[in-house]
Amino acid sequence: RVAIGNRTLIEEEGLSLDSETETVMRDCEERGHTAVIMVVDGKLCSVITISDPIKKDAASAVDLLKSWGIKVFLLTGDNIRTAAAIAKEANIPRERIFAGVLPKQKVSKIRALQAKYKQKVAMVGDGVNDSPALVQADVGIAIGTGTDVAIEAADIVLIKDSLFDVPVAIHLSRVTVQRIRINFVWALLYNVLGIPIAGGILKPWGFTFKPFVAAAAMMCSSLCVVISSLCLKFYKKPADVQSAEAKLRDKLISLKRVAERSLDKLKRNNYKKSGDELEGREFILRSLSSDSEFEV
């Protein structure tokens, strides 16, 4: 009989972890890895670590949202040590981490945030486990590369696999609502002034609208609202989003150049005699500062 799972499963199996295994798991979790235990016939067999690195733009997107006064929380099924390591990379405060959360518990966490802050709560997710929380949130945002269930449950679907689109979607929604209000005020003022004139309020002073002129004026009102709405086609990302994207792009390009130079130096200094053995091989270099990977 083979059992694979986390600490909870091991407890259900009636087993306990020795200090060495606990130390190994703790070290892995503090690096942001999920530790999975394999038990065969009631005996601890191995510890498997699973790593799902965060997106390269996660930290920048989180910083951008915080600069707009938006509180960012992390909901994850991982334990607190793994969640804390991931939150540190994403610049999310430790006190805003909800770790070890099951899918049903994510719904209750969203409800708790809605009740506590009395504000709109948005949920960003891409997995099946995120679907209930996406439905419960005031605004559910799904990553386009996520599961079909999450996409169906979300209110907004981000086509690109970029977290920068989250602040862009928020800003675009605000611009759209602002445009709706402008159109409403314009149409209201236009009709408040135009209808009495068309009704003959200025007739004692010799000024009237003929029926076809009033009809044309009404058409112009609708035309102005439509043209105002079409101005959204010229929407551009906020300047701070464009700046953050440019900084991240320059950083990744710089890191890739460093990785390529390091590989060239490695070939020249350490493998002069066996340079032919490196031809045709692929190398993956990881940056310690950003945890990014590059193939060269």
Exposure class string for 28-49: b at 16+ Cβ within 10 A, else e: bbeebbbbbbebeeeebeeeeb
Query: What is the reported pLDDT for 15?
Result: 77
Give the side-chain half-sphere CA count within 13 A for 250: 6
Closest residue by Cα to residue 13 from 48, 41, 49, 45: 41
Please state the rounded mean pLDDT for residues 37-61: 84
Of the pLDDT bands very low, low, confident and very high (cuts 50, 70, 90), residue 151 is confident
What is the tens place of the pLDDT at every residue in 221-257? 888 889 989 999 999 999 999 998 899 888 888 888 8
How many whole angstroms separate alpha carbon 58 and alpha carbon 186? 40
Asked whether the predicted pLDDT for residue 144 surpasses 90, the reply is: no
Query: What is the reported pLDDT for 115?
Result: 92
Asked whether the predicted pLDDT for residue 86 surpasses 70, the reply is: yes
Per the CB < 8 A criterion, the answer to whether 84 and 111 are in contact is: no
Lowest-confidence pick of 23-32, 35-44, 225-234, 272-281: 272-281
Query: What is the reported pLDDT for 252?
Result: 85
Query: What is the reported pLDDT for 97?
Result: 93
Mean pLDDT (the chain, rounded):
82
Per the CB < 8 A criterion, the answer to whether 164 and 244 are in contact is: yes
Query: What is the reported pLDDT for 206?
Result: 74
List of residues 6+ apart from 32 with CB closer than 8 A: 51, 53, 82, 85, 86, 89
What is the tens place of the pLDDT at every residue in 200-224? 777 777 777 777 777 787 788 888 8
How many whole angstroms separate alpha carbon 282 and alpha carbon 294? 10
Cα-Cα-Cα-Cα torsion 23, 94, 82, 80, nearest 10 degrees, comes to 70
Asked whether the predicted pLDDT for residue 291 surpasses 60, the reply is: no
How many whole angstroms separate alpha carbon 275 and alpha carbon 268? 8
How many whole angstroms separate alpha carbon 6 and alpha carbon 3? 10
How many whole angstroms separate alpha carbon 27 and alpha carbon 47? 12
Please state the rounded mean pLDDT for residues 252-268: 81
Assigned token pair, 106: 């994510």
How many whole angstroms separate alpha carbon 266 and alpha carbon 1? 47
Query: What is the reported pLDDT for 296?
Result: 46
Report which DSSP code applies to 282.
-
Query: What is the reported pLDDT for 109?
Result: 93
Of the pLDDT bands very low, low, confident and very high (cuts 50, 70, 90), residue 139 is very high
Angle at the Cα of 28 from the Cα atoms of 27 and 34, rounded to 5 degrees: 145
